[in-house]
Structures are given as structure tokens and as C-alpha cells.
Amino acid sequence: MTNSTARETSSVATRREARGGPAGPAAAAEPLGSLVNPFDVQSVRKDFPILSTKVNGKPLVYLDNGATTQKPNAVIDRISRYYREENANIHRGVYHLSQVATEAYEDARRKVARFINAPDEREVIFTRGTTEAINLVAATYARSVLKPGDEILVSSLEHHSNIVPWQIAAGATGARVRVIPIDDDGDLLLDEYAKLLSGRTKIVAVNHVSNALGTINEVRTICNLARRAGAKVLVDGAQWVAHFPTDVREIGCDFYAFSGHKLFGPTGIGVLWGQRELLEAMPPYMGGGDMIESVTFEKTTYAQLPNKFEAGTPDIAGAIGLGAAIDYVTGVGFDAFHDHEQRLLSYATDQLKKIPGLRVIGTAKKKAGVISFVLEDPALSALDAGTRLDREGVAVRTGHHCCQPLMARFNVPATIRASFAFYNTTEDVDALVAALKKIRSEAGAKSPVIAAPQRGAGATKEPTIQFPEASAPSPAAAADEFADVFEMLDDRDARNEYVLDLGAKLPQAFDTLKGLGIPRVPGCMSEVYLIGRMDPGSAERLQFAADANAEIVRGLIAILQKLFSGQRAADVLAFDVEGFFRRIGLDQFISAQRRNGLAGMVRRIKSLAAEVAGGGKNGNE
């Protein structure tokens, strides 16, 4: 046994022994409440090396488990051992290494089948993740059964990956997508769901747990009602599997999907489970090696399950790593950490609600360890809050969480989301709360009081839009001035603070620009509005005004205005924006388009410059 193998094995055994139970396989089957000792979270944390690291000089407080979980040594070592000792392609090799790799890969499939209580391991299909699993069903099963007039039901709580594939399938078949509504707490309205079901309903797609709100859905009830209507059900289990036992037979669904990386396993691996008779009737999702039985130029016959849906070389290490993650989680035991996670959720909810001006979004009756909230007094955008929390070593997710329809339902553009795993502690919650209080205090001290625009009787004349003049002879000259400033800012925090200060000084125009009805600039975590025109004094120059509801983005707007507004359109088009941001050490904003919309702003500005250079209309005016 190698050192890494010993560590993989002893890590799980130690967890079982720490619970007061035996180190053998039967330990994971203890019923809830049978623990001799309480859950030892500090012991578990030692299995996750990243949790002992620091961020910005402060201990890492990782509260973004809804996006991905951290990995225990058992998983890291198992993947490393595969590459060091077992690496070979699977299924087609007669030599020893290939057979060892094949057995490890197929053993991972058997572990998944036991983990979700699948009737047959051949029903377990390895995918790249939940998204690919859902797309597989939408592209194969849905397209083969849907016809014009049929209906697909999805809930208001869904991630985009459980909306968009069904819209694509509906568009290709003439079916339509209908939406199961929720109440103001974030609970599905099951009575309304029952009313939506009819003979036209062919597919129901719902999540087990909402990634944005933490709502736990009554999937057994949903499946029972769908079955009576003759519909098939796909359950997105991405946010469930790391927190609660999964039993697809008890749930009664037809398809179940989840991702390895949210179960303490590696990225790039996921699972689709499906009823065998459905999978056998479905056409392949992809063609290629390993999914065929025989190929001629006249005809191809397909392999049996599961190979039929696993074309090409799979993520062998990912599957093996997922198997190790399942071993680890079952070794710790859902029964052991269930109460810990629920207490943590309750404690965090209570502490966050005590912060003045903080509003929790989503207060469902049954929730997993997810809390979404906004800061309203003083108002602070989710993006700005996330940036400031990072300075305190606290990692949370900010934005619409790939749930734009859900954000619209609650009339918010984005939320701050803290999501927990069994290795989180009340000290993590305390650190989050302390950091929020600090940034709230700073925001209150810095934010100027902006008078709301008057409307109706007594209102002043329509507010004017300020189009900045050129700040330098050319974009290159403005860039040199910025480079001189940023050269004196020697770390990431100092540069971010400078950008925030620029944002605080930018003239307020958000409500005015938004009220014009111009299209919003794409950006995941903030609303950005931008309008441009040909300079009235020079037909070859571009002017533009913009604003956003996030201070960090307002700072980026200030930089772009100093670079481009009032400049020759041809110079704007020729300027290397990405090179400039790399030069001043802010290239992180270019690569993180989903966080701040900078790339979208640059595209809009260059599009306006192209219009001006071509002698077109005056931008958006």
C-alpha cells in the first residue's frame, strides 16, 4: 500500500472512529440520532488542505459551496495515484494498466449506483456535469417524444441549465415551456403545479434544492403528480447530493442529474441516472469511439448501456475521483453531519437578520444550507459587497446565480449568497457577519446622499446627460497617465480601492440612463447602461455616458470614459483595451466578464465608435 493509499483509507476510517462507530463499511448505515459523539467539524476540516490557507492575509472563510465544494486529501490523493500508478485508456486495452484503469472507472460507477440506490449500475451515465446531463436528456429523450402542442413544465426556481435546454427542445419540436410559480417565501406552489399538469404535459424538470435560495422541493410529490398525468420527471440534484442521502427509487423520478464537484469531487465529471427502458429507447447524444457495437459505411449499431452515451475517452480520473469523494462522504456519514448543517443554517440566518439594512431573499419552510441576501440600507450592490468581503478573506458568490427569472420574481438584479458545507463552522458565520458589518459601516460613511429625481407636478426640467470631453490628447496618452498612477499602487487591494474611489466620484446618472429605455449592457452581477453620440463639435469623435448600480463597475466606467470619451473614433477602435488593463494590473476584470460586464461595455463602446467612424447615426441618441 502506497502512502497516498494509506492516507485515503485512514482518512475515512478516522472519520468513522471519531463518530464513535466502527471503521468498517457498515458504519455509514447508522440511523440519524445514533451517534455516540457529536460531529467533530474540526477533525473534518483537517482533511481539506485549502481550508488552512489565507486570503489577503486573513484565514480563508469559504462560503461558496453552492458553486463548488473543496476537496479532501482522500480525493486529491486518489486522483494523483491514478495518474502516478494507473494511467491508461479504458475498455479497449488488454494490458495490465488498461485493465486496472478500467476496473477503477467501472468501480466508480458501482459506487455511484449504490450512493443513489439505482436499481442497475448500467443506468448510471458519466457526463461532464449536471448541465451536460440535462442537455443529454433534452436533446435525445425530449426531441424524440415531443410534438407540437406538448408542454414541458419547469419551476421558477430553476438554474439556467434546467431552463435553456428545454427551451431549445421546445423550439425544435413545437412544444412549449410552462412555469410552475413560487410564493414570496420561495416555496413552489404545488396546487398551481397540479393545475398545470394535463395530457399535454410530457416532461417536468425541477431542482431538488434551489441553488439560489436553498429551497428544498417536495420532489416525491412532484413525481407522483406527474406520473398520474403520464409525464416524465427530471430532477436536478446538484445542490442536494452533498447534504442528504439520495434514493432515486424512493423519489420516483425518471432522470436524476448531479455534478461531482459539488460533492467534494473533481470538476468535469457528473452523473445522469435514468430509467433503463427510457435510456435504451433514447438515441445516442454523441457519436464516436466506445459507443458503438459495429460500424460500416452503410450502418452503425450502438453499444449497450452505459457505453451508448459515453462516446470517446471519458474523464477517467474524474470518475475515479468522484468515487473517492463518495467513499469520503459516506465515511463521514450523512447522519453525522445533518444536524450540524441545519444548526449552522439556523445560526447564520439569525445572525444575518440582525444586521440592519440586510434582507434575506428566500425563506422557504424547508431549506438546505444556502442563504441569499441583499444590502439595502445603505444600498450596496452584490458585486461591491463580494469584492469587499474578499478583502476580509470571505468567499461568497454574488450575482444572479444563473437564475435570472428567479431574480426577476423577487425584483432584485442580484444577491449575495453564502452556501455551507459540513466543514463550515459558526466561526465562519461570525467572520461573515463581522465583515458585512464593517463594509456596511464603510459604505455608509462614504456614500453621498443622492436626491431622487422629481416626477410629476413641481418637477424640474428633464435631467441632462453629461458627455465627458477628452481627458487627454489620445487614448494612448490617457493610458500613460493611468499607468503612472497604477505604478504606485503595488497590490491588488490598493488597485481595487482606487477603482472604487473613481466610482464614488463618477456623476450619478443611473436612473436617468435606465429611464431612457436603452438596452442594458450584458453583465452578470450589475446593471450597466451606456449611451453614446458623435461629438457635436467634431464629426470624427465619440462621446459616451454610462453608469451602473455597482461602485466597482462605476470605477471601470470612469476609466473607460477617461480613455475614450471625446476621442477620435478611429483611435478608440485601434486601442488595445486588454493590453491596457494588463499593463495597469487590472486584467482580472477582462477575464471576469460575468462579474462586472467590462467586456460588454468595451464591445458597446467600440460598436459606437465604429458607427461614428463610418459616418453613421449619432450612437444611441
Cell numbers for 490, please give them: 503595488
Written as nine digits, the cell of 274 is 435514468
Report d(CA 422, CA 332) in Å as an integer. 10
CA–CA separation, 8 and 4 (whole Å) = 6
Q: Are strands 370-376 and 379-380 parallel, antiparallel or unpaired?
A: antiparallel
User: Cell 441583499 appears where?
Assistant: 374
CB 111 within 8 A of CB 326: yes
**How is residue 368 written as a grid cell?**
438546505
Q: Among positive and negative, which fits the CA dihedral 107, 109, 114, 119?
A: negative
On the CB side of 213, CA atoms within 13 Å amount to: 32
The SS3 call for residue 76 is helix
For residues 169-207, one letter each, b for 16 or more C-beta atoms within 10 angstroms of the residue's C-beta and e for the rest, the string is bbeebebbbbbbebeeebbbeeeebeebbeebbbbbbbb
Least Cα distance to 405 among 219, 112, 610, 161 occurs for 161
**Cα–Cα dist 23/125, whole Å:** 30
| Contact assessment for residue 320 and residue 90, using Cβ atoms and an 8 Å cutoff | no
Annotated active-site residue 402? The verdict is yes
Closest CA to 232 of 147, 127, 153: 153
Catalytic residue among 253, 402, 403, 524: 402
Cis bond leading into 405, ω under 30°? no
Rounded CA gap, 613 and 114, in Å? 64
Helix axes 96-116, 316-332, angle to 10 degrees: 40
Number of residues assigned to the chain: 621
Q: Name the residue with cell 482580472.
A: 588
The amino acid that residue 206 corresponds to is V
C-alpha distances in angstroms, 281 versus 88, 124, 308? 32, 15, 11
Judged by phi (left if over 0) then psi (alpha if -120 to 50, else beta), residue 279 lies in: alpha
User: What element of type H or E holds 193?
Assistant: helix 190-196
The kind and range of the H/E element at 227 are helix 219-229
CA distances from 592 to 149, 402, 554, 600 (A): 41, 15, 16, 11
Task: Enumerate the active-site residues.
Answer: 402
